[in-house]
Structure 1
Amino acid sequence: MKKLFFYTLFLLTATHTFAQKDAAAKTILSQVSQKYRSYPIIKSNFSFTIDNQQAGMKETRNGMLITQSKTNKYKISIYAAGSKADVEQEIINDGKSQWTYLKKDKEVQLSDAKAGADGFNPAKIFTMYERGYKYLYTGDQKIAGKVYQAIDLSPEDNKQQFFKIRLLIDKVKKQIYSALVFDKSGSKYTYTISNLTTPANVPASTFTFNAKAHPGVEVVNLK
């Protein structure tokens, strides 16, 4: 699986626009971002599914995301198909540099953290609505006995490849449960959080790639 399998999720951009920024949606999203900013670290397990019915493709990967809200640092670990431990790919960002590690290819790509202005920083997943998006609260949904508030986001830039992002937010916990991204090509990308914890701290080394711990890995400098 190429690195674009998961990283595509974080290019959250679109062409459709809403008529306005909905007040009810803004209230809900503000509660989510306020809660997120109260935690120094957030660690979440997730599943990520690509679904394209026209191409007859549906694939899922599991992974883990660690974010540090104040510094915008993050680490994404993607596991091999059917696994919840065997790391297949990692994306690590310390705010200045980004490393994309491909285990199978024995390669890590080093790039500027700010390269690609259209890329979505997953460290801002709980606050992304604040800039460049319009939003609309579309009602509540009940899943497995829990109530989720549905909000549709639409970027204000009309030159992008996604036309809508649908967030489901736990009504009680005020936490994002899932993000469903609608692509103009007909593909759908679903990111679902299965577990979220808020550790007090993680080692600083979490947000840098340790080349010594990966002997034989080629470093491709794209800076």
Structure 2
Amino acid sequence: MNNMNFYKRPLIAALVFWFAAFSTGFAQDTKAKTLLDQVSAKVKSYDNMFIDFKYGLSNDAAGINQETRGDVTLDGDKYKLNLMGTTQMYDGKKLYTIVPEDEEITISTQDPGDDDAITPSKMLTFFNKGYSYKWDIEQNVSGRKIQYIKLTPIDSNSELKSALLGVDVQTKHIYRLIMTQKNGSKITITVNSFKTNQPLPGNLFVFDEAKYGDYYINRLD
């Protein structure tokens, strides 16, 4: 079903890795560590964040070349993620996955402290270990200096071969993540816009069941 596909890798894994890079505490390359620490400090200073991004998946051998867009609003543990026609919202206690195409909603309890839970609210700190990294190429993108850091999983069984994390040197915001998997797939996430400390509606993370009278609601607990 579509709502189950919403959770599956490589898409969600890519997003987790992408946001996780904001506060990763790697310890191999001094220059890379300094830059990542600056990114982490900048992000932690924000009350909330809104990120609009482009997601691309390609695999030449399989003839795959897809692009889509999404956006996520993060406010502490709470979040609202819109992606591939599906909305995933966490209000601090319950996780709601709303799939208009199927007219279905899944509601479950989620523990933010669960190490196995893959959530946008944990994307800032999820991958705090398990990767080696080093200073990589620099690019000029429309006058912006983008410095890339190459990350390689320490676990040889990881599906990920390597990743390139591009950081805007001036703003200390992540601009792009390029993930290369061992199966030949390449995932690219590019930030279209990054807004912080926005006035958020009081009901942004509130689920209003009355709005979905025709939907099937699947309560998992």
Unaligned runs of 5+ in 2: 19-26
The equivalent residue for 2:23 is none
Structure 1 residue 207, shift from structure 2 partner: 2.7
The equivalent residue for 2:107 is 110
1:2-21 alignment, distance < 5 Å: 2-3=5-6, 4=8, 6-10=11-15, 12=17, 21=28
Within the candidate set 74, 82, 87, 2:79 is matched to: 74
Opposite residue 106 of structure 2, the aligned amino acid is: Q
The verdict on how the C-alpha distance between 1:194 and 1:107 changes in structure 2, with shifts beyond 3 A counting, is same
The verdict on how the C-alpha distance between 1:132 and 1:185 changes in structure 2, with shifts beyond 3 A counting, is same
Return structure 1 stretches of 4+ with deviation > 6 angstroms: none
Per the alignment, in what secondary structure is the counterpart of residue 36 of structure 1?
A: helix
Per the alignment, in what secondary structure is the counterpart of residue 10 of structure 1?
A: helix
The equivalent residue for 1:147 is 145
- 1: distance between equivalents of 2:202 and 2:156? 38
Opposite residue 123 of structure 1, the aligned amino acid is: S
Structure 1 residue 157, shift from structure 2 partner: 4.1
The equivalent residue for 1:39 is 46
1:58-103, CA deviations, whole angstroms, 9 ceiling, x for partnerless residues? 11111211112xx332211125xxxxxxxx1112123443222211
Unaligned runs of 5+ in 1: 14-19, 80-87
- TM (norm. structure 2) is 0.80
Per the alignment, in what secondary structure is the counterpart of residue 50 of structure 2?
A: strand
- 2: distance between equivalents of 1:209 and 1:93? 9
Q: CA RMSD in A?
A: 2.8
Opposite residue 48 of structure 1, the aligned amino acid is: Y
The equivalent residue for 1:195 is 193
- 1: distance between equivalents of 2:159 and 2:205? 29
- TM (norm. structure 1) is 0.79
Percent of aligned pairs with the same amino acid? 27
> Given that residues 33 and 127 in structure 1 are in contact (C-alpha distance below 8 angstroms), is that contact kept between their aligned partners in structure 2?
no
Q: How many aligned positions are there? A: 208
The verdict on how the C-alpha distance between 1:152 and 1:178 changes in structure 2, with shifts beyond 3 A counting, is same
